[in-house]
Amino acid sequence: MDNKTNQWREDFPILNQKVNDENLVYLDNAATTQKPQAIINDIDKFYQHDNANVHRGVHTLAERSTEQFEAARVKIQKFINAQHSDEIIYTKGTTDALNIIARSFGEENIHEGDEIVISYLEHHSNLIPWQQLAIKKHATLKYIELDKDGFVDLEDAKKKITDKTKIVSIAHVSNVLGVINPVKELASLAHMHGAVMVVDGAQSVPHMPVDVQDLDCDFLAFSGHKMLGPTGIGVLYGKEALLNAMPPVDYGGEMINFVHLYETSWNDLPWKFEAGTPNIAGAIVLGDAVDYLEKIGMQNIFDYENKLVAYVLPKLLKIDDLIVYGPHDPKKHTSVISFNLKDLHPHDLATGLDMEGVAVRAGHHCAQPLMGYLGVNATARASFYFYNTVEDADTLVKSIVATKEFFKNGTV
């Protein structure tokens, strides 16, 4: 893939611009990825040629729209190696998917005295639903400790996950520390105690091969906009038997079988969980994004990003007064790197980098408990994707040094 990096980059028109008179270096991919021209064109194409509501319509446009909508579901099924296409539920995104699990499976299966186990590194989307469910059901919420590099500690997990545990929910990849957590081992541990395994795949599915059958997770949630697709579309994967047993959480059109005056029967999977008119264009174009990613190859993307991290992380670690969080060994790190400059607020650091054309994120990254665990209020975060280059990495390093000098001396 190395010799094709520029080819892929040229597919993304937004990257060909200047910010503050500098060439844009976009390193906020953990928040959202940019879209290739082909994906932008596909959105226009749908609305110009095929726009109609899905299912039940017998006219040509409705049939074309429905065919593409369901074909995208099959693409996504194969992309994560789900066993059945009806295990793929369209949602608004990772947050929506995790909330559906909590509101449906959680409400039905969590009772007073039960335990829900998560970790200190969870995004708020994989923390608050379980926190609030535990409060409502008088259950116990437990946190797995992190090891010295920031990985979920398997030894502590063995202590925290007990026969009282009903749900274990962990981020596959941390959106702050860039670690890949051992979710396959955690799933085995959860199942050993009769619990289900929920995986927040927002930062893993776009960057590496993910096989839900190999992981043996019971649920997986991820977002389209973090993998080249539009905002407002995401996926909830769940094992068929679990989804069949779960009640719907939203009511209205499409999710019904038959409505009587005083009772209603529910539709089959996956439509039971897809009330109302869905994000049709978003789902179809997410399928196109899957095609684009598979053309490159998820293992190729993962390997290329690892090379970028292996290149830039040692350079960052050599900058005086720069604190890098998470593992310092590039082999243990994904393309998410969080850092702070000593005595400089991360917002000031991010503003300084923006003046150099470098887009990073600064704040608590929707992971305030993790910030507390790290002993900081916030960090700056650079996150790479396959369209980033070694030159982008060099610009990041140079811009951090320039920003440091500016705030130290008042000049760049």
Contact of 33 with 365, CB cutoff 8 Å: no
Measured CA to CA in angstroms, residue 115 lies from 160, 312, 370, 375 at distances of: 9, 41, 21, 27
What is the spatial distance between Cα 348 and Cα 342, in angstroms, rounded to a whole number?
12
| 119: helix, strand or coil | strand
What is the spatial distance between Cα 128 and Cα 96, in angstroms, rounded to a whole number?
12
Closest CA to 244 of 362, 104, 407: 104
Joined together, the tokens standing for residue 280 give 């049709």
Contact of 175 with 325, CB cutoff 8 Å: no
Q: In sequence order, what are the beta bridge partners of 117?
A: 142, 168
Point out the catalytic residue in the list 15, 359, 366, 376: 366
Contact of 355 with 274, CB cutoff 8 Å: no
Contact of 220 with 77, CB cutoff 8 Å: no
Contact of 182 with 152, CB cutoff 8 Å: yes
What is the spatial distance between Cα 305 and Cα 178, in angstroms, rounded to a whole number?
12
Residues in the chain: 412
Q: In sequence order, what are the beta bridge partners of 19?
A: 22
CA 368, 373, 379 angle in degrees (round to 5)? 55
366 is catalytic: yes
Q: List, in order, residues 6 or more apart from 234 with CB less than 8 Å away.
A: 90, 91, 92, 93, 94, 95, 96, 97, 221, 222, 223, 224
| 196: helix, strand or coil | strand
Measured CA to CA in angstroms, residue 285 lies from 39, 235, 282, 289 at distances of: 7, 13, 5, 6
Q: What is the CA radius of gyration of the chain?
A: 22
Enumerate the active-site residues: 366
